[in-house]
Amino acid sequence: MCLAKVSVLWTSNLLEVALIVPLQKKTEAGKPYTRIPENEIRLVELSSVSDGDLVELCRQSRTHPQYVPIECLLYYVRRCASTNPSLFEQLFKVLSERIFKKLPRSESQGVNTVSMTNSDIREGVYDRFIEMLMIDKAGYEERLDMFEVRFDLALSRLKKDAQRKSYRAENRNTDLGFDDDSADLNPEVETASEGYDPFEATDIDNYRYRCRLDAAIEALPELQQRIIEMTRLDIPIDSIDPNEMTISRALNKVEKTIRNQKKKALASLRILLQGDL
């Protein structure tokens, strides 16, 4: 992490000084990315509030006089990921809710039973964002800097990538009759999910942990939620017995897809429920 810079703001003839961590990504011309001035000022203002007040302000809608822009919310999610797990958990939940509101809604049951494009886009964008956040938590992910500059613009690029992938997969699946999710996972996802069991007896016996786990599961994309809930019920992913209930059969997805989505879900839960990867 590079040295923090000093942002100075005059308010009511008082000089407020706050250490705001600068962005590291640089333009092609070699100049570092910079946040818009209004958000720099808002970060200075938020630097003096308590963790509880910060969470409460981040939960407010855009019409609230002290609304926190999503770029500022992301700033604090990134900065507390490794240092303040409790604050990270609360802010990350708010950030996830805001992201999903910006993505296309999943298609209603019965409206279109063939195309799952919107659902695929939601999950694809969210998965990509989680992967970047995990990389950032382990060190520093420069791609997230653009989200701190113009979140909606950066998110729109992820949506376009997810749309292209979804349309290609949908056409391929329609023609060939199979479910495509065979790409290798990001190494950070593999590492974060490996050997992790959110339902271990030592943790699940704790009431506070169970509450946090339920809230974390609710923050996952719908497909991942269903996979984790079925895993909790000890339903196998696949089976050679054609009469046995499996996650793959219940969700009408191939085994590879279920395993990849389960790993992504476990990686996300580990971020939320443990202090570090």
Closest of 27, 123, 18, 130 to residue 74, by C-alpha? 130
Tell me the C-alpha distance between 61 and 144, whole Å.
23
Q: 174, 96 in Cβ contact below 8 A?
A: no
Q: What one-letter code names the amino acid at 236?
A: P
Range 106-111 average pLDDT: 52
Tell me the C-alpha distance between 273 and 120, whole Å.
25
Tell me the C-alpha distance between 141 and 25, whole Å.
9
Cα 208 off chain centre by = 22
Q: What one-letter code names the amino acid at 135?
A: I
Range 92-119 average pLDDT: 72
Tell me the C-alpha distance between 87 and 56, whole Å.
11
Two tokens, residue 235 = 């339903």
Q: Where are the domains of the chain?
A: 185-277
Closest of 122, 204, 112, 231 to residue 166, by C-alpha? 122
Closest of 272, 131, 142 to residue 196, by C-alpha? 272
Range 98-109 average pLDDT: 76
What are the tens digits of pLDDT across the range 256-265? 999 999 998 9
Range 107-111 average pLDDT: 49
Question: 3-class SS at 139?
Answer: coil
Q: 227, 256 in Cβ contact below 8 A?
A: no
What are the tens digits of pLDDT across the range 204-248? 667 778 878 888 888 888 889 999 999 988 899 998 888 888 999
Instruction: Please name the residue ranges forming H helices in the chain.
Output: 37-46, 51-58, 70-80, 85-101, 117-138, 143-149, 151-176, 187-193, 201-204, 207-218, 222-232, 247-251, 255-273
What are the tens digits of pLDDT across the range 128-182? 898 888 889 888 999 999 999 999 999 998 888 877 776 655 544 443 333 445 4
Please tell me the predicted confidence (pLDDT) of residue 148.
97
Tell me the C-alpha distance between 93 and 37, whole Å.
26
Please name every residue paired with 5 in a beta bridge, in sequence order, or none if there are none: 20
**Mean pLDDT over each residue of the chain, to the nearest integer:** 80
Please name every residue paired with 8 in a beta bridge, in sequence order, or none if there are none: 17
Question: 3-class SS at 14?
Answer: strand
Based on its alpha-carbon atoms, the radius of gyration of the chain, rounded to whole angstroms, reads 21
Question: 3-class SS at 9?
Answer: strand
Tell me the C-alpha distance between 240 and 252, whole Å.
16
Closest of 232, 208, 228, 231 to residue 220, by C-alpha? 228
Two tokens, residue 66 = 């002290």
What are the tens digits of pLDDT across the range 17-40? 458 999 999 988 899 999 999 999
